[in-house]
Structure 1
């Protein structure tokens, strides 16, 4: 598979009927990057923030079209579209192989479950990717 140019948070299969979303307010002063893993914020019903080790995984920040000069993120105190189920592109911290179970660590980063400092989430990598590259993660 060819290298993918920053597709973090982009749906892997457009038009999939098996994708589910949630909508919450961003609780991150520096913003929430597209494709980052999220957990519930201080207000568990209304806010989300970047995942930390030991947090309860909520989903992935969905990418949307922005001005080319804007940061690819949700700003603090804005509504975040969260992918809670479906196939989405994510950037991986280390090499993964299709079929590896996914894990998430501090700052919403992804890798396979074998590493310390990362918590297993309900997802499996559908494609293989090298460290710092993009893979399709199937959230179940």
Structure 2
């Protein structure tokens, strides 16, 4: 049976940092050293116990989006982890991320040092670091969401 309507199986991306499908994924938890937006690459802090938004270090995963809780202020910016809160970090699996420039299916990904978002390998931008084993599974234009599959140890 062919899939004729995607939403019957899993909704299209509604925000960065959400899981892209029901495939297995692996995540771990660390404390946030700073406010961390959902869906950005993260790196270990100098204490090796916390994580921060990727800024040119060694990427350890992507911040997984959490559903808002009923106790949160609905008018606040709830699309991030607050400093000192536990962060769920996806290390393996497909996840929606924001791209800084156009990407195609199969492009390898690099993390942008200034935003924690993603670009295709071979970009002319210099403030990037390779994101090991990361491959785009969908195409997207700059500023849109794309599925990125990662498999970090």
Alignment TM-score, normalising by the size of structure 2: 0.81
Structure 2 residue matching 1:81: 3-state secondary structure: strand
The aligned counterpart of 2:61 is 59
Aligned residues: 132
The aligned counterpart of 1:32 is 36
Q: Once the two structures are superposed, what CA deviation does each residue of 1:6-63 show, in whole Å capped at 9, x if it has no partner?
A: 510000013x22x1111000011xx10000110001211x20001112x100000000
Structure index of larger Rg: 2
What is the alpha-carbon distance in structure 2 between the residues aligned to residue 130 and residue 105 of structure 1?
16
Gaps of 5+ in 1: none
| Cα deviation, residue 90, structure 1 | 0.2
Kept after mapping to 1: 8 A contact 2:13/2:20: no
The aligned counterpart of 2:106 is 99
The aligned counterpart of 1:117 is 127
Gaps of 5+ in 2: 1-5, 7-11
What is the alpha-carbon distance in structure 2 between the residues aligned to residue 134 and residue 120 of structure 1?
19
1:12 equivalent in alignment to 2:16: no
Kept after mapping to 1: 8 A contact 2:29/2:89: yes
Kept after mapping to 1: 8 A contact 2:42/2:53: yes
Kept after mapping to 2: 8 A contact 1:91/1:134: yes
Structure 2 residue matching 1:42: 3-state secondary structure: coil
4+ residue runs over 6 A deviation: none
Kept after mapping to 2: 8 A contact 1:113/1:119: no
| Cα deviation, residue 5, structure 1 | 6.3
